[in-house]
Amino acid sequence: MELFGFGPHLMIDGYHANPAKLDDVELIRQVLDELPVAMEMTKIMPPHVARHTGLTPEDSGVTGVVIIAESHIAIHTFPHKGFLSVDVFSCKDFDTQKALDALVGRFEIGRFDTHFINRGKEWPKNLEEVEKILAGEREYVEARIA
């Protein structure tokens, strides 16, 4: 368990994904319905999924989100480009590899980039540890300025 931070935020940019799956509103709804359960998170409303028609087919796609007690999971797809972006943000720790594997498998993602941050660095899970970390960071910054 992290000693500081509000919670993990996993961001996935998926390339060369299966265009038919990226265009499948029901599949995206199903993924958003099942992923919170698999990640031991709490859905507080059903997923909302909508098709978006852009100015060109390349700009069109499907967007979906599920609100969870811990925060949210969002998926944005661009089938003509074989691209999707996903955010999994939770105030509760979760298995990021499990989430990534599930999404790569369901959408047949060929290549992906991930970004991971621990949001809310000063969120006090352990106040004494947070104070030590922040004091150290401030000392470092002050030393670099001087």
The reply to whether 141 falls in a domain is no
Please give the pLDDT value at position 111: 97
Query: Does 142 or 110 have the greater pLDDT score?
Result: 110
The CATH number linked to 35 is 3.60.90.10
Domain with 24, as residue range(s), is: 7-120
The reply to whether 139 falls in a domain is no
> Token pair for residue 93?
């720790």
Q: What is the pLDDT of residues 30-44, one digit of tens each?
A: 999 999 999 899 999
Q: What strands, in cross-sheet order, belong to the sheet with 83-90? A: 48-52, 61-68, 71-78, 83-90, 7-15, 111-119
The reply to whether 146 falls in a domain is no
Q: How many domains does the chain contain in total?
A: 1
Indicate the pLDDT class of residue 1, thresholds 50, 70 and 90. very low
Query: Per-residue pLDDT averaged across 10-35, rounded?
Result: 97
SS3 of the chain? CCCCCCEEEEEEEEECCCHHHHCCHHHHHHHHHHHHHHCCCCECCCCEEEEECCCCHHHCEEEEEEEECCEEEEEEEEHHHCEEEEEEEECCCCCHHHHHHHHHHHHCCCEEEEEEEEECCCCCCCHHHHHHHHHHHHHHHHHHHC
Please give the pLDDT value at position 143: 74
The reply to whether 128 falls in a domain is no
Q: What is the pLDDT of residues 123-137, one digit of tens each?
A: 555 556 656 666 777
Q: What is the pLDDT of residues 53-99, one digit of tens each?
A: 989 989 999 999 999 988 899 999 999 999 999 999 988 888 889 99
* Residue 140 CA, distance from chain mean position: 31
Indicate the pLDDT class of residue 144, thresholds 50, 70 and 90. confident
The residues that are catalytic are 71, 76, 91
pLDDT(146) > 90? no
Indicate the pLDDT class of residue 4, thresholds 50, 70 and 90. low
The reply to whether 66 falls in a domain is yes
The reply to whether 103 falls in a domain is yes
